[in-house]
Structure 1
Amino acid sequence: MRRRDFIASTTGTAAAAAVPITKHRRSVGMSDVARATASMNELVAADDRQGGHTGLAAIALQGRSRVLELQQRNASDRVRRALYALAAEYTTIAAWSCIDLRELDRAQKYLHESTTFAGLSQDPSTGMRVWINMAMLAYQRRNWTERLAAAQAAEASLAARKDPFFGSMGRVRVALAHATLGDTRAAERSLGVAQSTLRKAGEEDHPRWTAFYGSAELDHLAAIILNHSGKHARAEAMAHHALARIPHTFRRNRGLATCQLALAQLRQGEPEQATQTAASVFAIMNGSPLPGRMRTLIGDFHRDLFSMAPSTTYARDWADRIRDEWSRA
């Protein structure tokens, strides 16, 4: 066979083999986006119940891979932006799980990736979520100035400027950052603005990941701010308000608010009552392993309890309970 004929025949064969893949690769539409969104929302619900765990992060990354595969098909600009928003959301779920687990280097990597996807999506609420998670990560790393910068970026975001709901969410993150920096006046001022801004929020639909946020969760965050500020009686009251209204399906958030209640009671000199409150966290989590952030709060409580009342029967019983729970995890 002459060389020219050989090249033509092999090129034609390769092209013929490739054509069916291209022709039969169907376009992607909003129905595909809706299915991927439903799967993502199931992960958000799982996080609400149990908190971050290794399995959740792995499933979120699988979801991201599927979404990025869809990006390789024909799609409108609207669909492409929606797919990038989903890629950012799935990646942020993985990052959030790592924050909850206190696997902070992995969380940092995923948040950097989700920042890119959020930018490509041009979706304000997705960008807002990334900034909030950046602030959370900075807190876990004990980088207080970075936490404030990320919170201020969330507060200044387009989503926060356009919608009082997101405005409140961004402002309370600024309040939390000021509290960890020891600026009590700025923290309470920002908290007050977050509370008043939330009251202005309408009934607009928001992404599923925002379902945790409302007046009950804002009371929980207020308890954190007030505990940081040394105002433990007010922190206790806010924690009680939060627990009266946080839905029981949000087990992780109820557990965290209960930790704040226990810390507030302990720091007011009520160690026995505080110990009973702290022990209820295990019942709230219903046998699920405690997320890393919650374990850290329980560890803080344990240390402070034994500084205050090391020889009491309830402290010894608490220590036995902790050993049992930790060994089970």
Structure 2
Amino acid sequence: MQRRRFLRAAPIAAAATVGVIPPAKADAPYRVGASDVDRLERLHDQLIEDDDQLGGTDAVEQRAAALAQQALALQNGGTASARIRSRLYAIAAHFTDSAMWAAIDGRRLQAANGYLNQAVTLAALSADSPTIVRVWGHAGSLYRHLGRPTDATAASEAARASAIARRDPLYASLTYARLAVDQASTDSPTAVLRNLDNAQRSLSRVDERAGRPSWMRFYDQAELDLLACGASTTMGRWDEAEARAHSALARLQPSMPRNQALVTAYLALAQLHQGDAGHAVATARTVAPALAHGRTAHLLNDFTAHLVETAPTSSPAREWTTYRKEVLSAC
């Protein structure tokens, strides 16, 4: 298995680095400039688009990790101004974070944990507050999936305390929403709902004209609804989870099919827990088979377990079992 993964990933990693590092000159070290960082940032934008389309595949993870190493090679092998060095640390942090997020999304949690310390260190070295928010936010997600809710909440609180989250309502909304998700398994529903309300109020105050990094384009009302759906699912508030899932699906950007699959799986689970097995199975069958991996597959596994537990001989259960065997298992 590891050999097959390496053989798949090696060409991706090699292709990711083509044209990133300029050829070295014999007479002097390379002077790293803004155009070099701009080129890396464009590659990062493409990586995010691939993640939105495909989810956390091995290919996305390995490409991100390879590009992080190239950013660090520029950092260590060239001369640069203090501002360019800060940008290089930031983009290296983003690539490492993207590799971590792809592994989280793909439920490869041991691999994700391997990126964590470097992502946090690089973000701190960049001294860039938005980068720090992104890394701590994904660290919280990793800790939550690892079953470490206290650490997850602490990571989200670190993001909440950042300068940009205090200054910009969009970052404030994102950090409140992520904190609510992490609190859902440990704190009272009142605390979770209070932070979701804070996230909604902050989002309503966002100035769309303010300049922000391109990676923040993902955060909007649909993403807030998705995060709230996740929190409601953890708390077992199934009617709220269903309402948030419907709201997210109505607002999702067409460029984010991975999130559409994820929200649809949440919706099916919420419908099933409210006793509507037939409708739930019909919803689950609309998840794109090619995207039924990682977090989405994990939700569908929970869906299957609950369906078999509560209605093992029902027509919806037989229909779903056949569909999983003939369609999902073939992808």
On whether the aligned pair clears a TM of 0.5, the verdict is yes
1:300 paired residue number: 302
> What TM-score comes out, normalization by structure 1 length?
0.89
In structure 2, give the amino acid aligned to 1:250. Answer: M
Once the two structures are TM-superposed, the CA of residue 32 in structure 1 deviates from its matched residue by 0.9
Once the two structures are TM-superposed, the CA of residue 24 in structure 1 deviates from its matched residue by 4.5
Kept in 2, the 8 Å contact 1:132–1:173? The answer is yes
* Match for residue 230 of structure 1 among 210, 230, 236: 236
**TM-superposition CA deviations, 1:17-71 (whole Å, max 9, x none):** xxx9453443111111111100111000000011111111111111112211211
Once the two structures are TM-superposed, the CA of residue 304 in structure 1 deviates from its matched residue by 0.9
1:52 is the counterpart of 2:56: yes
Between Structure 1 and Structure 2, how many residues are aligned?
Answer: 306
* Match for residue 135 of structure 1 among 97, 122, 140: 140
2:21 paired residue number: none
List aligned pairs for 1:212-231, cutoff 5 A: 212-231=218-237
Q: Structure 2, unaligned stretches of length 5 or more?
A: 1-23
* Match for residue 160 of structure 2 among 150, 155, 167: 155
Kept in 1, the 8 Å contact 2:261–2:291? The answer is no
Once the two structures are TM-superposed, the CA of residue 180 in structure 1 deviates from its matched residue by 1.4
Measured in 1, the distance between the counterparts of 2:293 and 2:215 equals 18
2:86 paired residue number: 81
Measured in 2, the distance between the counterparts of 1:62 and 1:111 equals 16
Once the two structures are TM-superposed, the CA of residue 192 in structure 1 deviates from its matched residue by 0.5
2:44 paired residue number: 40
List aligned pairs for 1:128-277, cutoff 5 A: 128-181=133-186, 183-203=188-208, 204-277=210-283
1:3 paired residue number: none
Which secondary structure state, in structure 2, belongs to the residue aligned with residue 280 of structure 1?
coil
**TM-superposition CA deviations, 1:63-108 (whole Å, max 9, x none):** 1122112112111111111011010000011111111122212211
Measured in 2, the distance between the counterparts of 1:174 and 1:62 equals 30
Measured in 2, the distance between the counterparts of 1:326 and 1:279 equals 9
Higher mean displacement: 294-303 or 179-188: 179-188
1:30 paired residue number: 34
Higher mean displacement: 202-211 or 89-98: 202-211
In structure 2, give the amino acid aligned to 1:315. Answer: A
Measured in 2, the distance between the counterparts of 1:255 and 1:327 equals 16
Measured in 2, the distance between the counterparts of 1:234 and 1:244 equals 15
Q: Structure 1, unaligned stretches of length 5 or more?
A: 1-19
**TM-superposition CA deviations, 1:116-172 (whole Å, max 9, x none):** 111111110111111011110011111111111111111111221121111111111
Percent of aligned positions with the same letter in both sequences? Answer: 37
Give the structure with higher Rg (CA): 1
Kept in 2, the 8 Å contact 1:44–1:208? The answer is no
Measured in 1, the distance between the counterparts of 2:48 and 2:326 equals 29
Kept in 2, the 8 Å contact 1:132–1:151? The answer is yes
Measured in 2, the distance between the counterparts of 1:164 and 1:37 equals 24
Measured in 2, the distance between the counterparts of 1:325 and 1:110 equals 34
Kept in 2, the 8 Å contact 1:179–1:228? The answer is yes
Measured in 1, the distance between the counterparts of 2:255 and 2:30 equals 39
> What TM-score comes out, normalization by structure 2 length?
0.88
Measured in 2, the distance between the counterparts of 1:225 and 1:65 equals 35
Once the two structures are TM-superposed, the CA of residue 234 in structure 1 deviates from its matched residue by 2.4
* Match for residue 65 of structure 1 among 54, 66, 69: 69
In structure 1, give the amino acid aligned to 2:49. Answer: A
Once the two structures are TM-superposed, the CA of residue 229 in structure 1 deviates from its matched residue by 2.8
In structure 1, give the amino acid aligned to 2:243. Answer: A
In structure 1, give the amino acid aligned to 2:329. Answer: S
